[in-house]
Structure 1
Amino acid sequence: MTVWSRDDSHLPAALRGLRLPMVAAPLFIISVPELVIAQCKAGIVGSFPALNAREGEGEHPLLDTWLTQITEELDRHNQANPDRPAAPFAVNQIVHRSNVRLDRDLEICVRHKVPIWITSLGARVEVNEAAHSCGGIVLHDIINNTFAKKAIDKGADGLVAVAAGAGGHAGAQSPFALVREIRQWFDGPLLLSGAIATGAALLAARAAGADFGYVGSPFIATHEANAQPGYKQMIVESGAEDIVTSSLFTGVSGNYLKPSITAAGLDPDDLPSADASSMNFGSGSSKPKAWKEIWGAGQGIGAVDELTDTASFVARIESEYLAAGRSLAAEFTG
């Protein structure tokens, strides 16, 4: 059952009727079927990067196996819980030209009729057409208004505004400025990313003009996440001051945990920079070490104070969201 009373009929069918206006961001290495299934069963859109599914040479494509696992488990859940169906899931496609798996992964996603596609690092017409051919919708992540317009011009259905404070490849603009500029010309689905780790922050995203909050880093500290125990504990113990922004590790500006940089023998206060030419997704990541040893996170992790399961985290966000909404609503009554 949804907790919001607004009319969401203007949104694509895949984004209607969610328990919360919340989409789980796809986390490199971290997001695996167990986490995605838990997110969807909790009533929010779960997601994972297609490149997380890596099989050995000569083996059956793991992406195909994962999609079968996810769809069959969610189907079983829906049959057993017709009054509390799972939310749909999303697959993130890295559209950068160095992703040699892209064509194969697109074909697999079309065959499985993936309902929501999240595209990153490049907007391409043929990718959007592939999604639409199987009834899917495309949400493209962007860091500024110029890229937003290009994405919609090339056929994306909605946008993920990645603002300052987000984990991974974050933008530099204030969420208030970015959402406002986009909303001056675009009234379609808009998701906001950037330090959304509480129900109050989720409400703020809605008040700013976004349809959904896009939440990533808090899910690292869940039991279902495919993260090392030390990574999960570092999320719990760290705060916004422990986040370092650097382009060194992937060639694109991103946010990382300072203690993990120090543990790798680097000086987090004196990191060299790198340019986009160093990006290479031919083997799944521009530099896998950047995510296995240098751990990404957003500035909202100060709100994460315990390891928990996904269902409990979503329930906490729901409770906080409702409380924050009622508190603010009281200011405008009487």
Structure 2
Amino acid sequence: MPELFDNNRICGLFGIQYPIIQGGMIWASGWRLASAVSNAGGLGLLGAGSMYPDVLKEHIQQMKAATSKPFGVNVPLLYPDIEQLMDLIIAEGVKIVFTSAGNPATWTAKLKEQGITVVHVVSSSKFARKAEAAGVDAVVAEGFEAGGHNGREETTSFVLIPAVRAAVNIPVMAAGGIATGRQMLAAMVLGADGVQLGTRFVASEEASSHPAFKQLLISSQEGDTQLSMKKLVPVRLLKNAFYQRVWEAEQRGADPAELKEILGRARAKKGMFEGDLEEGELEIGQVSSLIKEILPASEIIRNLITEFRTAVETNY
């Protein structure tokens, strides 16, 4: 199967074997998961969104010790210590940075001056064109199905992928609703050069998410997630007591200030990292309903490639 990816633009851009990127999910994407993905032939990403700069520095150094393969860091641009974080990434010699939740023009040029490959996550073809104009090397087209923070456009992956492919000339990765090799092939038929998976890797042995959260993920059914807090920052959540309070507030027309008060502080950490399944914020994608096993990251990648191969050979 590797021969199918010999001329793949994502493999060439990052120097990896398979065009499979592990999403830099908060409270899940530490060095153990990222290094396991990189060692298995994909691209592992450290999730800086849940790390203070000193914690990220430790994870980068652990990552370097755990793999000689390419890896990157995912950075939400709304991060409060963004300048300190970017200075750290440059100082530590990180070669690949994925940015999201902000204007890519703010940091892309500075990062590229340091020889860093830059990718930006987008939710529309409009933002894809802006990212390309800002000089990024590739974009991730993230559909409405994705977990965590989401675009306001609510465009599904099957619509977004071909729209972004038609809008830009740079490589495109698809994200949102992808957990199997057949879904990977579908995304690539629609125009993606590769795929980024978040939820599937949360349900891995190496993910730093709480075991109770992982178990809830693999027991979830269709309809168990919902895009919430659209007046604040849209985020897809598993339904629980916290989600129910948010839903009830939204039904009565709560404003952003009230939603922010309900959200409080460290709600995502409480749920995904500490395992409070009722009062925590449980960010996960719709595709969770298709995932029934917690597996090593290397086995997840092997399964993806096997399923991809079968789909190519059998047209199913």
Q: Tell me which interval the TM-score lies in, with the shorter structure as reference length.
A: 0.7 to 0.9
> Are positions 1:300 and 2:287 aligned together?
yes
Contact 2:24 2:48 (8 Å CA) reproduced: no
- 1:288-328 deviation digits (Å, cap 9, x = unpaired): 20353121111111221112211111111111111111112
Residue number in structure 2 paired with 1:217: 199
Residue number in structure 1 paired with 2:175: 193
In the alignment of these two chains, the number of paired residues is 301
Residue number in structure 2 paired with 1:27: 25
Contact 2:104 2:120 (8 Å CA) reproduced: no
Contact 2:45 2:72 (8 Å CA) reproduced: yes
Paired residue type of 2:155: Q
Deviation at 1:6, TM superposition (A): 5.3
Q: 2:41 aligns with which of 43, 46, 56?
A: 43
Structure-1 separation of matches of 2:190 and 2:62: 37
Q: 2:266 aligns with which of 278, 288, 310?
A: 288
Aligned-partner SS, 2:281: coil
Aligned-partner SS, 1:7: coil
Paired residue type of 1:72: A
Paired residue type of 1:235: L
Structure-2 separation of matches of 1:28 and 1:144: 22
Deviation at 1:265, TM superposition (A): 7.8
Paired residue type of 1:2: P
> Are positions 1:257 and 2:238 aligned together?
yes
Residue number in structure 2 paired with 1:149: 129
> Are positions 1:239 and 2:217 aligned together?
no
Contact 1:23 1:214 (8 Å CA) reproduced: yes
Relative to total residues, which structure has the larger helix share, 1 or 2?
2
Contact 2:229 2:259 (8 Å CA) reproduced: no
Contact 1:113 1:135 (8 Å CA) reproduced: no
Q: 2:55 aligns with which of 62, 86, 103?
A: 62
Contact 1:240 1:299 (8 Å CA) reproduced: yes
Aligned-partner SS, 1:156: coil
CA spacing shift, 1:204–1:108, aligned 2, 3 Å: same
Q: How does 1:100-179 map to 2 (within 5 A)?
A: 100-171=80-151, 172-179=154-161
Structure-2 separation of matches of 1:287 and 1:209: 39
CA RMSD of aligned residues (A): 2.7
CA spacing shift, 1:118–1:5, aligned 2, 3 Å: closer
State the percentage of identical aligned residues: 24
Residue number in structure 1 paired with 2:208: 226
Structure-1 separation of matches of 2:96 and 2:75: 11
Gaps of 5+ in 2: 271-279
Deviation at 1:137, TM superposition (A): 1.1
Structure-2 separation of matches of 1:276 and 1:39: 39
Structure-2 separation of matches of 1:227 and 1:176: 29
Structure-1 separation of matches of 2:243 and 2:103: 36
CA spacing shift, 1:315–1:271, aligned 2, 3 Å: farther
Structure-2 separation of matches of 1:234 and 1:36: 22
TM-score (structure 1 length as normaliser): 0.82
CA spacing shift, 1:277–1:266, aligned 2, 3 Å: closer
> Are positions 1:266 and 2:211 aligned together?
no
Deviation at 1:12, TM superposition (A): 7.7
Paired residue type of 2:172: L
Deviation at 1:199, TM superposition (A): 0.6
Contact 2:11 2:19 (8 Å CA) reproduced: no
CA spacing shift, 1:253–1:276, aligned 2, 3 Å: farther
Structure-2 separation of matches of 1:277 and 1:145: 32
Structure-2 separation of matches of 1:125 and 1:230: 39
CA spacing shift, 1:276–1:215, aligned 2, 3 Å: farther
Structure-2 separation of matches of 1:276 and 1:186: 37
Structure-2 separation of matches of 1:162 and 1:277: 28
